Structure 1
């Protein structure tokens, strides 16, 4: 009898957690209260173009501030079906204290195939907003699939406390190094080697050490890429004063060029 393969067990009932790129895309927010303020901030952090539909008198202080600062476009009235006629709308976020009106907007979005989120009504949501921890390029979202938002916030705070305080800066450094690496090894067939080498780099240095890497350090580190090696931190720092340190160990001649040249 053949052995049972050890594959992951399917756990139905979840959501597909993805990072939705909405930079420069239009998001329509219906409502101007506290919940709407949180939704708006999420979208602005993602560089979306936000339009808020709500009577001016119903805007809470934060939303009113976003309007006054020109961070969002404001339509001073209640929602109208014609607000959805704009074909450039990427998503609709509804946060009003009117269940009947919310359901009507939800149905209109379905007719137009526009992804929508109706606050506090999981059954009328194409996607959920989780509790998010943000540290520069690092984003961690905790979702309970709409079942326990407050619990999600508690779990998010617990996770955040376990992270290094400089995690965001370290990730920023890794990102800069990846960009530089793609410049010297841009071919698609270089992909596996790039990934393998970046894995070695990520495992070789601590968070604090990664944060301390200067532009010069990254350029010197890239000199080791052709050989697939990663120097010790002391060896890398030694190259600050003498770039020729470790020269004999860096190149194996197979590439025929010097990355540091």
Structure 2
């Protein structure tokens, strides 16, 4: 039976430069997803036409650049990640080929076989961020799980994280002893309710 072999990674998009090829609904969705997670994302969008919403986003975020033209190999230069978000399979495949040729990681929208990475559904509560992947099998299930987790995780968890950060910073000793102490402190978070009373 096939298992999810993906290795979860959180990119610091404010330090990277992302190229999105496509100014339609898919390009808009991918751009919005990145900005939602990191408003300082450095994104260049290349397309012949842009949806009005993308034009509006570019006015709101100075780190978003829209270039109105056809895709060319030169668009890949200096980019760390690429998202092929056009509705033309041949063009998306061409972008994939060029990106692979210069070893740039690429996501080809709605084509899992041509993706080096996926943009998963994300649950966020302050500093806590959980990414959900179905290995490209069902983005709908990922979105439903996101809704469940978003409601189940209390908003106050970010306050707990902040306090634990302060405690971790004040602990003395080597790494192993710090981990033991933090495990002891946070044990109450996973203890069954019957034992907590």
Shared fold, TM over 0.5: yes
Root-mean-square deviation (Å): 2.4
Query: Is the strand fraction higher in 1 or 2?
Result: 2
Contact 1:30 1:54 in 2 (8 A): yes
CA distance in 1, matches of 2:114, 2:31: 19
Query: Number of residues paired by the alignment?
Result: 187
Aligned to 1:58: 50
CA distance in 2, matches of 1:74, 1:163: 37
CA distance in 2, matches of 1:35, 1:177: 43
CA distance in 1, matches of 2:166, 2:44: 33
Q: What are the ranges of 5 or more consecutive residues in structure 2 without an aligned counterpart?
A: 191-197
CA distance in 2, matches of 1:201, 1:13: 32
Aligned to 2:104: 114
CA distance in 2, matches of 1:155, 1:205: 21
Contact 1:32 1:60 in 2 (8 A): no
CA distance in 1, matches of 2:158, 2:29: 22
SS at match of 1:28: strand
Task: Identify the match of residue 159 of structure 1 among 134, 149, 152.
Answer: 149
Contact 1:33 1:60 in 2 (8 A): no
The Cα of 1:21 is off from its aligned counterpart by: 3.3
Contact 1:15 1:145 in 2 (8 A): yes
In the TM superposition, what whole-angstrom CA distance separates every residue of 1:115-142 from its partner, at most 9, and x where no partner exists?
A: 0000001111001111111111111122
Aligned to 1:48: 41
Work out which structure has the larger RCO, using CA pairs closer than 8 Å and 6 or more positions apart in sequence.
2
Q: What are the ranges of 5 or more consecutive residues in structure 1 without an aligned counterpart?
A: 1-9, 207-261
Contact 2:4 2:134 in 1 (8 A): no
In the TM superposition, what whole-angstrom CA distance separates every residue of 1:60-115 from its partner, at most 9, and x where no partner exists?
A: 41x222211224122122211111122xx111011111111000000101111100
User: 1:165-244 alignment to 2 at 5 Å?
Assistant: 165-178=155-168, 180-181=169-170, 185=172, 190-203=174-187
Give the TM-score of the pair, scaled to structure 1.
0.64
Aligned to 1:78: 70
Contact 1:31 1:94 in 2 (8 A): yes
The Cα of 1:11 is off from its aligned counterpart by: 6.4
